[in-house]
Amino acid sequence: MDESRFSGALLCLFIQQTLGADNMKHDRRKRLENLVKSLIRLNDFSTTDAKTQCSETSPGYITRTIHQLADDGLLRRVLKKKQVLYRWSDTAPRKTLVLRWIDRRLEGLQIKHTAEEERPRERLLRNGPCELSNADLLAILMHTGVAGESAVTGGQRIANRFTARLPELSHCSHTELKAISPAATRNNYAKIMAGIELGRRVSRVERVPKIRQRSINSTRAAIDYCSEQFARLAYEAVQEEFHLVTLDTKHKPINKHRITIGTLDASLVHPREVFRAAIRDAASAVILVHNHPSGDPSPSREDIMVTHQLTEAGKILGISVLDHVVVASQYCISIRETNLDQEAFDKNPNLQLISAQ
């Protein structure tokens, strides 16, 4: 075969493959459009309802498509009579949203195949960040992808993995994130972690002016304050930490101090270390705070002993210990409110009060 005939044969083969790929994409689009058009007519439906409505389509394909629509924010999961149902989002006309979604699905979520006005960054600049999904925000943070996977695809993969446990994303290592999406390069991982930390710091600063004006004059106020200010301890800390909140004469917060890290023990939490910070702040009163990484805030014998030890030391110094709050992922409790402390020492001879001197 001469060179010209060989080139012609290659060209024919290329055209056949291109036409075959286009036909496959057309078939996929038609199948997806037919299914979604049927789903659009349903309101508050279950996967069983969808399979009944679309009986000619594979049940597995229906379930996968519904889950993808929900993960991408077009459907919302709602609980009715102990059953999970799916409800269409009302942010825009259903048909318009669905057609855009199908385009993104079939084009592999590549930025170059997305209209410029529909790209995450442009939508953020036009509508503000609140309108964007978690996947969109992650795509903006990553900015660029890698060969075979765009930042948009990577953001979608990561967002889907952490749909119901977003706080855990901040604990993810680079290796773990890279296993979810190859677009999570070292640079992109650093950008994601920096974005999470910056968001935390902004949130913390935004709350400070309001919280500092609040007088802590009840157990409920102490629990509310500690729930806000020590949320990291409740949900993220892997060890017990003991903190001190110093208060002025009107019981408004002055400052927060971390005293120790590790299992709470009366021999480790010495009054000298605790009240040194209180004296430095010229505090009139203090609140003791520590966490239970197990998630269960029920006070232990050591918690009660530490509360008594520091309360007695505070009386000598003229600094009131208003409360001891235990923060945990389940909820927060006040040791004072449980009424366990005094009764425990009065009735249980195994609990020994350590001298404050």
224 lies in the same domain as 342: yes
pLDDT tens-digit readout, 1-48: 455 555 555 555 545 544 444 566 577 778 888 888 888 888 888 989
Which residue shows structure tokens 């110093």? 246
* Domain boundary pick from 186, 213, 240: 213
Overall number of domains in the chain: 3
* Domain boundary pick from 106, 139, 158: 106
Q: Is 236 buried (19+), middle (13-18) or exposed (0-12) by CB count in 10 A?
A: middle
Q: What are the CA-CA distances from residue 105 to residues 5, 32, 114, 156, 178 (Å)?
A: 39, 10, 11, 11, 22
Continuous segment of H or E residues that includes residue 253: strand 253-261
207 lies in the same domain as 238: no
* Domain boundary pick from 87, 106, 125: 106
Q: Which of 20-29, 48-57, 313-322 has the lowest mean pLDDT?
A: 20-29
Return d(Cα 356, Cα 272) in angstroms, integer. Answer: 9
207 lies in the same domain as 232: no
- Amino acid at site 187: N
Q: Which residue has the higher pLDDT, 349 or 116?
A: 116
**Token pair listed for 27:** 């078939």
What are the φ/ψ torsions at residue 244 (nearest 5 degrees)? -130, 135
Q: Cβ atoms within 10 A of the Cβ of 106, count?
A: 14
Q: What are the CA-CA distances from residue 151 to residues 24, 43, 172 (Å)?
A: 26, 33, 18
177 lies in the same domain as 95: no
- pLDDT over 90 at 190, yes or no: yes
**Token pair listed for 241:** 């930490």
189 lies in the same domain as 121: yes
Is residue 12 in a domain?
no
pLDDT tens-digit readout, 60-70: 888 888 887 87
Is residue 116 in a domain?
yes
Q: Which residues contact 35 (CB under 8 A, 6 or more apart)?
A: 54, 57, 61, 62, 65
Is residue 207 in a domain?
yes
Please answer whether residues 274 and 246 qualify as being in contact, where contact means their C-beta atoms are separated by less than 8 angstroms. Answer: no
Return d(Cα 181, Cα 156) in angstroms, integer. Answer: 9
What are the φ/ψ torsions at residue 180 (nearest 5 degrees)? -80, -45
220 lies in the same domain as 189: no
pLDDT tens-digit readout, 130-166: 878 888 899 889 888 887 678 888 888 898 888 777 8
150 lies in the same domain as 131: yes
Where does the pLDDT of residue 285 fall: very low under 50, low under 70, confident under 90, or very high at 90 and above? very high
CATH number at residue 57: 1.10.10.10
- pLDDT over 70 at 194, yes or no: yes
* Residue span of the structural domain in which 255 resides: 216-347
Where does the pLDDT of residue 353 fall: very low under 50, low under 70, confident under 90, or very high at 90 and above? very low
**Token pair listed for 123:** 């939508």
**Token pair listed for 203:** 């949130």
CATH number at residue 342: 3.40.140.10
**Mean pLDDT over the full length of the chain:** 78
168 lies in the same domain as 87: no
Is residue 333 in a domain?
yes
Q: Which of 101-110, 142-151, 338-347 has the lowest mean pLDDT?
A: 338-347
pLDDT tens-digit readout, 236-282: 777 889 999 999 999 999 999 988 887 666 556 788 888 999 999 99
Is residue 4 in a domain?
no
Is residue 326 in a domain?
yes
182 lies in the same domain as 230: no
Continuous segment of H or E residues that includes residue 291: strand 285-291
Is residue 27 in a domain?
no
Q: Which residue has the higher pLDDT, 275 or 347?
A: 275
Q: Which residue has the higher pLDDT, 91 or 148?
A: 148
137 lies in the same domain as 256: no
- The pLDDT > 70 percentage for the chain reads 76
Q: How far is CA 102 from the centre of its chain?
A: 28
Please answer whether residues 296 and 330 qualify as being in contact, where contact means their C-beta atoms are separated by less than 8 angstroms. Answer: yes
**pLDDT recorded at residue 316:** 92
134 lies in the same domain as 175: yes
Return d(Cα 249, Cα 101) in angstroms, integer. Answer: 59
Is residue 168 in a domain?
yes
246 lies in the same domain as 203: no
